Structure 1
Amino acid sequence: MTDDVRDGRWKSKAVTSETMDIVTEALRAPMGRVAAARQRDELRDMAAAVALYEVAAAYGSGDCEDIARKAGLEGERAAAGWRTLQEMGLIRIADGRVETVDPETALAVVMGRYTANVQEQLQSALAVNDATQKLLTVFRPAAARRQEQVAVDQFTGPAGRDRALRDIAATLRDTLDTAYQGMACDAPEGLARLARRGIRVRALYPRTMLSAPGQARRLQDLSDMGVTVRVVDHVAHDMMVFDRHTVCLPGSLGDISESMIRIRGAVLVQSFASIYESYWQRATPLSRAGARPHHAEMSPQERAVVRLMTNGYSDDRIARKLGIETTAVQDVMTSLMERLGAGSRFEVGYKLARELDPRDL
């Protein structure tokens, strides 16, 4: 720390000028491809971010307004600098104070997110490819051979829809597969009745329903009544597949409660069944999706240690920051490793990162 920092004086003009020169030189090549106005805005925002980061790092931590004042920034320039640092993962706010994150740690987080996104896209692409291959190599040739006629009927209004569903349910023998974008008002009770008849009932719901306590409780009740429930990141549309020979779809997008389309014919229905199976295989069983996350059981001290560890702090630095012994920090890490079944600090961070929002710390 310089004498100026110790005395509470920060050379904001010198830092800003020097910072602007560094940022301009570093971004010169890519900026040639954007508009001049955007170049200037990006330079100013980045310069403000660097000035704030330098002050925050020099002081260890501090209040946002105090750091901005020492950096010679205020108003929109300070706000733009803080936004830039947050977007790049270089700061965290803990107990109302700013803490800096080492650039190498922030880079590792960015690369981890990129890798996770790439893997997710790859899995989605493989699933689409699998469904496409089945449609092209199995169902289309079968349709060409059999020349089976497909019957499509539309039912408008709740009365017509309910009557058609009762007729289908009365002749149902083996399976019912359903997918919902939300919790249909009368679906849980009807599905449970079919399950009690010995019908194998499977139900897909969007994962977001678990974030609403009431809806999550209804899903659990449905599971307790014999329906096999899974959750998936995205449900494209409502769908009901009866005994793999009849499909019911909403008559208008997202409105299965008011109207319904019924499709009969093995060739086309098998295509919908294949799409449903693709969703089902990628979905998570409710018993696993609703499991209590590890971070919910962490003590305040464990949360503080993990937060500083993910900021790139060493054990000694964490101990000084929290005012505890280094051995206490090591004990916390050992306890977390045992609880998570992890073989290293890195694995602890990896497992928590998969289920933890940084704001939870």
Structure 2
Amino acid sequence: MISFIVGTTAELIKIAPVYHAIAERGTRPRIWFTAQHVDEVADVLTDLRLPEPDVWLVPRESAHNLETPAQVPGWATAVARTAWRRRVELKATLAEDGRPPLVMVHGDTFTTPYGAFIGKRVLGARVAHIEAGARSGSLLSPLPEELNRKIAAKLVDIHFAPTAREVHNLRTARGIVVDTEANTAIDAMRQAINEPIMPGLPDRFGLATLHRFELLSRPDKYREALEILREESRKLPVLYMAGAPEREKIERLGLHDLFDDSFQIRPKQRYLKFLPLIARAEYVVTDSGGLQEECGYLGTPCAIHRHRTERHVGIGQNIILTEMRGDTLRSFLADYPSRRGVSLMEKYHPSEVIADTLARLGFC
């Protein structure tokens, strides 16, 4: 039996096409949820045609969004307690179809190494990692993602790496390394990009998401980025999609006066509502690695406002890394039309590669 241990809405989005590809081969995987994100999970599951999690590794009645590092120890304790208490049941589930037991994890969240540890050490299963091998070259940037990936790599038996670069990064890893040629995000995107966009938007607009601790913890850099976007919105409206932490930071720093009818602050949207915005945006400014890949596949001009990125899709083509420099961001905004690339949406099908590999290895 195959089980996914995931904990965030982004992980659900990227495992969804793999889940369906496995199910089409006659095996219904299980979803065991660590509840790093809770608030939008029901909507995301509905949008992606995924079932409710089979197991909540944090008791559902006490689950809440994991928003600060201070919450991590309590969350980790709750996950460990549930996994240990239900280990006999979870082992039985993994063995129920007579196939080798497999736990699959994704990406680089806290759930990634923790899920790999539970699968390997607590349940005695093989472990597969989707989106394996990404490296920035610095444990501190991004933190904790780089550390999460490195820890997980020590526990994983099957590494599904999205490009040849990640395959190379895993050249000394134990286990099997498979090049899926792209991130499974591209498979999830096909369902979303043609959905209708929300009403009342400008005909043409730039799109921004800036939310990482790396940026929000530096008020000078965060203020600078927002002020540059404000200046640019005088030429073309800019939509800044902000969640609760960003709004709280804006209020604390007294930056709410930057926003108006041209530089609009908007609530974050769930995946099927957000992807059509990316597809229709003139450009994107973000510090999201996932959004970097989505823009890379769509050919949308994009500035990654970070010091480093562990992802390389589109870099030097339709995407630039600003290194968090205001002058580099301004340069991108002055010349973004020249960076529009071609869509790669029909070129890659990584979820099929993953499911075919698992079938060949006897897991489904």
User: TM-score scaled to structure 2, two decimals?
Assistant: 0.25
Greater helix content: 1
User: Which structure would you say has the larger Rg?
Assistant: 1
